[in-house]
Amino acid sequence: MTGINLHGIWAIYRFEMARTLRTLWQSVATPVITTSLYFIVFGGAIGSKIDAIGDVNYGSFLVPGLIMLTLLTQSISNASIGIYFPKFTGTIFELLSAPISAIELVVGYVGAAATKSVVIGLIILITSAFFVDLRIDHPVAMIAFLVLTSVAFSMFGFIIGVWAKGFEQLSFVPALLITPLTFLGGAFYSIDMLPEPWRTVSLFNPVVYLVSGFRWSFFGAGDVSVGWSLGVTGFFLLLCLGLIVAIFRTGYRLKN
């Protein structure tokens, strides 16, 4: 039985991280500027009209939703582009014929994408501290949700990168599915503020559980129980893992 090819995983991981470092300024400046604009518009203009949600200042309430919005889109974008470029340039066949297993290949690409997403999430968290008073009641849970969500959606992004036949399809799912679901998933409001039947309808949006669980780690309260949030996150991760296994077993859009 052969061991894990750590050198192969590290080579893919290092290559993907190097691609990010080449655009380090944009990678850091974009979330900082975007976060600042959100707090100026939402926290300043709208937040001045809302006293608090529960016992949390509206500006502070925005932080988990804002981080989650960026986390989902960045995880998908980083992973999908990472695997799509080898397909686009034709080097995917060299990867598939290299002495590296499918699991090791996925770990390299998904690990790099998740790392970049976690770093950006932490940058947004630090930037937010300059605008609002932050408290994190459950820091270990916050890191756990941050990492689990990044890994799950990086795997989802990997699937999109394999599925996509062109650059326009890479942005199709994040732009037309993930971003709207996040905005409608309680990122900038509590679903308890919605009248029926819209509150019940919102519970069918999986992003509600991600945002709620992440917000619970900050303030100790969410729209749904933290158990449901962990369950939905874990289920989505396992679903993506199953789809990736199926992709490599069939060679779907990789070998043909």
DSSP string computed for 140-186: HHHHHHHHHHHHHHHHHHHHHHHH-SSHHHHHHHIIIIIHHHHHTTT
pLDDT per position as a tens digit, 187-210: 888 888 888 888 898 999 999 999
Band the pLDDT of 45: cuts 50, 70, 90. Answer: low
Contact criterion met (CB below 8 Å) for 71 and 146:
yes
pLDDT per position as a tens digit, 143-164: 999 999 999 999 999 999 999 8
Residue 188 pLDDT: 84
Q: Is the pLDDT of residue 2 over 60?
A: no
Spatial distance between the Cα atoms of 209 and 188, rounded to a whole number of angstroms: 14
Average pLDDT of the residues in 168-175 = 80
pTM of the model: 0.90
Average pLDDT of the residues in 75-83 = 90
Residue 43 pLDDT: 64
Residue 1 pLDDT: 41
